[in-house]
Amino acid sequence: MTENRYDYIIVGAGSAGCVLANRLTEDGDKRVLLLETGGSDKSIFIQMPTALSIPMNTKKYAWQFETELEPYLDNRRMHCPRGKVLGGSSSINGMVYVRGHARDFDEWESEGASGWDYQNVLPYFKKAEQWAFGGDDYRGDSGPLGVNNGNNMRNPLYKAFIRAGVDAGYLETDDYNGARQEGFGAMHMTVKNGRRWSTANAYLRPAMDRPNLTVVTHALVHKVVLEGKTATGVRYEQGGRLHEATAAEEVILSAGSIGSPHLLQLSGIGKREVLEQAGIEVQHELPGVGENLQDHLEFYFQFRCKQPVSLNGKLDWWNKLKIGLRWILRKDGLGATNHFESCGFIRSKAGVEWPDLQYHFLPAAMRYDGKEAFNGDGFQLHIGHNKPRSRGFVHVQSADPRQAPRIRFNYLEHEADREGFRDCVRLTREIISQPAMDDYRGAEIQPGANVQTDDEIDAFVRQAVESAYHPSCSCKMGTDERAVVDPETRVRGIQNLRVVDSSIFPTIPNGNLNAPTIMVAERAADLIRGREPLQSAEVPVVMDDQWQARQRPGQAKRALA
């Protein structure tokens, strides 16, 4: 067994780990070891945005986790891929850039994550970001993370969808990551110069030439090494040999919402009965580890398209070859976008204060993994209820780090979540029925016009929903007995050990998780280094002042028209 000494050890070169590796080495006075189980991200299928379905479904680049039988989804097993490559899930995800609603972070504060309210986290979103259209009070223009709108909605279906939302009585929002999330508008993606702008590209690659950063790939971490209640390093395997690395200051777990709780449990930190059942000696009882697991579900609302403008006509091998060659030569065209270029955020009913439903619009009718393309022109909306009340778990099964943990989300256990998906079906039909879609809207493919009653909708949803790939909250931040880390991201009761990734979210935000995960790592880097946090932002958040009485802001205006 070899041994190496560092100041900080970061486990996981993903969305958070790459940020930390950059920020903790930028002063040059701290030696940092970054460990990643996967390997290089230098693959055309990772770097070309339109190829997003390939790395997500490839064992080389992603942990292909599956849940246990989900009891409220007709006992289906759900796919739960997590990044296993430099860049982690930011190298295999859909590249959609959504911060979440301002109230999501105020909710974190109310859950005990003091200092993580919107006004305090906004400066870190801005610090991370290089927004293609310039900075303002809400957007950053000089950060590492390139963000744009892909092909700027050249396909006419994108803008037709936005107009349909306005026709239905909702607002058009100029920037859902700015002052007002609620409404319909252009969607943003982490793409720069036509390439996926993962945290590996944005943060890690610029830092890899620093002499104080060591990056070790194909390293499977077995456990955090503890001396009493203090973390002193990690034990990991590479090339069939065991290694032990020592951290003079801290060990930081950034292995994600499945990997981080699993590693804590492998190290003897967690709920006593879970550890004992797996044959692991309890080093520190912390009952919240692996609990509070949350995710977003979505389904595809599909329609035939009456005009030959959809991407379904580009799915044959010849068109794919042309798209790929153009991207290789010019880094533009249909290869340089994730194709989710317009979106919507709405509230499901009156009395809901901020949006809880999210739309990704796709000018094609196909599966997220690229399979089962519809024969003919079509379009679809990915729609989901984004503030679930159901909670699941991640539980270690064995002391063997190669054995995957038990994962169960208990999707749709809570009646409010089932009700939210009924709203998804009915509100979507109303939106797509608007005049703006008349030139394009054909027959409803899925769910199908015969799906109308609550029972019919519930049955369809149980069979059709898929994960939006946003597992989170399994090592929640706070101060209550279920909290795993404190508001400084330190594991409660253990010295020199932190968790920094989406597992520490107290609740899941209304949106995709890559942007808030990067923000968490940016802010945590300042906490780790003992720096004063960035000055809080005093900016207005625009919301419907009559949210208690109406479901959409444009209702009154629509009634007068």
- Mean pLDDT check: name the lowest of 135-139, 366-370, 375-379: 366-370
Q: Tokens for 9, please give them.
A: 């050890």
Dump strand ranges (E) for 287-388: 291-293, 297-305, 342-346, 357-362, 378-385
Residue 194 has pLDDT above 50, yes or no: yes
Structure confidence at residue 491 (pLDDT): 98
Residue 559 has pLDDT above 90, yes or no: no
The stretch 84-102 carries a mean pLDDT of 98
The stretch 362-388 carries a mean pLDDT of 84
DSSP for 279-310, please give it: T---SEE-TTTTEEEB--EEEEEEEEESSTTS
Cα distance between residue 264 and residue 290, in whole Å: 9
218 domain residue, yes or no: yes
9 vs 2, higher pLDDT: 9
The stretch 187-209 carries a mean pLDDT of 97
The stretch 125-134 carries a mean pLDDT of 97
Contacts of 340 (CB under 8 A, 6+ apart): 94, 96, 187, 189, 360, 361, 362, 382
53 domain residue, yes or no: yes
Domain that holds residue 225: 2-529
CB atoms within 10 A of CB 466: 18
555 vs 463, higher pLDDT: 463
Residue 321 has pLDDT above 70, yes or no: yes
Residue 498 near residue 490, CB atoms below 8 Å: yes
CB atoms within 10 A of CB 246: 16
Which amino acid type is present at position 467? S
Total domains in the fold of the chain: 1
CB atoms within 10 A of CB 478: 24
Tens-digit pLDDT profile for residues 437-492: 999 999 999 999 999 999 999 999 999 999 999 999 999 999 999 999 999 999 99
Residue 546 has pLDDT above 50, yes or no: yes
440 domain residue, yes or no: yes
CB atoms within 10 A of CB 229: 14
Which 3 state secondary structure label does DSSP give 478?
coil
Structure confidence at residue 131 (pLDDT): 97
373 vs 429, higher pLDDT: 429
535 domain residue, yes or no: no
> Given its phi and psi angles, is residue 122 left (phi above 0), alpha (psi -120 to 50 degrees) or beta?
alpha
Task: Name the band, by pLDDT with cuts 50, 70 and 90, for residue 561.
Answer: very low
Cα distance between residue 281 and residue 262, in whole Å: 14
Residue 371 has pLDDT above 80, yes or no: no
Share of the chain above pLDDT 70, in %: 97
Cα distance between residue 356 and residue 344, in whole Å: 11
Q: Is the pTM of this model over 0.95?
A: yes
**CATH code at position 520:** 3.50.50.60
Q: Which residues are annotated as a binding site for FAD?
A: 7-36, 85, 93-96, 221
Cα distance between residue 235 and residue 245, in whole Å: 7
Q: What is the CA radius of gyration of the chain?
A: 23
Looking only at the bridges linking them, the beta strands covering 357-362 and 378-385 are antiparallel
Distances from the Cα of 143 to the Cα of 71, 118, 202, 304, 560, angstroms: 43, 19, 9, 41, 45
Residue 551 has pLDDT above 60, yes or no: yes
Tens-digit pLDDT profile for residues 11-26: 999 999 999 999 999 9
Looking only at the bridges linking them, the beta strands covering 32-35 and 2-11 are parallel
Which amino acid type is present at position 556? A
550 domain residue, yes or no: no
Structure confidence at residue 370 (pLDDT): 56
110 domain residue, yes or no: yes
Tracing tokens 């709920």 back to the chain, one arrives at: 271
Cα distance between residue 228 and residue 138, in whole Å: 45
Tracing tokens 């739309």 back to the chain, one arrives at: 359
Based on the residue annotation, tell me whether 339 is a catalytic residue of this protein.
Answer: no
Contacts of 130 (CB under 8 A, 6+ apart): 140, 141, 142, 143, 144, 145, 146, 147, 192
Residue 43 near residue 32, CB atoms below 8 Å: no
Share of the chain above pLDDT 90, in %: 94
Task: Name the band, by pLDDT with cuts 50, 70 and 90, for residue 376.
Answer: confident
Tens-digit pLDDT profile for residues 346-356: 999 999 999 99
If residue 394 lies in a helix (H) or strand (E), which one and from where to where? Answer: strand 392-395
* Segments in 156-234 forming alpha helices (H): 156-167, 199, 205-207
371 vs 140, higher pLDDT: 140
558 domain residue, yes or no: no
Residue 270 near residue 261, CB atoms below 8 Å: yes
Task: Name the band, by pLDDT with cuts 50, 70 and 90, for residue 558.
Answer: very low
Structure confidence at residue 2 (pLDDT): 55
Residue 556 has pLDDT above 80, yes or no: no
Q: Tokens for 84, please give them.
A: 């296993």
Tens-digit pLDDT profile for residues 488-543: 999 999 999 999 999 999 999 999 999 999 999 999 999 999 999 999 999 999 99
185 vs 317, higher pLDDT: 185
Q: Which residues are annotated as a binding site?
A: 7-36, 85, 93-96, 221
Task: Name the band, by pLDDT with cuts 50, 70 and 90, for residue 94.
Answer: very high
555 domain residue, yes or no: no
Peptide bond preceding 388 in cis form (omega within 30 of 0) = no
Dump strand ranges (E) for 144-217: 145-147, 183-186, 191-192, 195-196, 213-216
Tell which residue, 408, 401, 62, has the closest CA to residue 264: 401
Q: What is the mean pLDDT of the chain?
A: 96
What's the DSSP call for residue 539?
-
Active-site option among 262, 382, 385, 470: 470
Tracing tokens 């209702």 back to the chain, one arrives at: 555
Give the orientation angle of helix 156-167 with respect to helix 415-432, to 10 degrees: 110
Tell which residue, 479, 481, 523, 480, has the closest CA to residue 501: 523
The edge-to-edge listing of strands for the beta sheet with 406-408 is 291-293, 392-395, 406-408
Which 3 state secondary structure label does DSSP give 400?
coil
Which 3 state secondary structure label does DSSP give 338?
coil
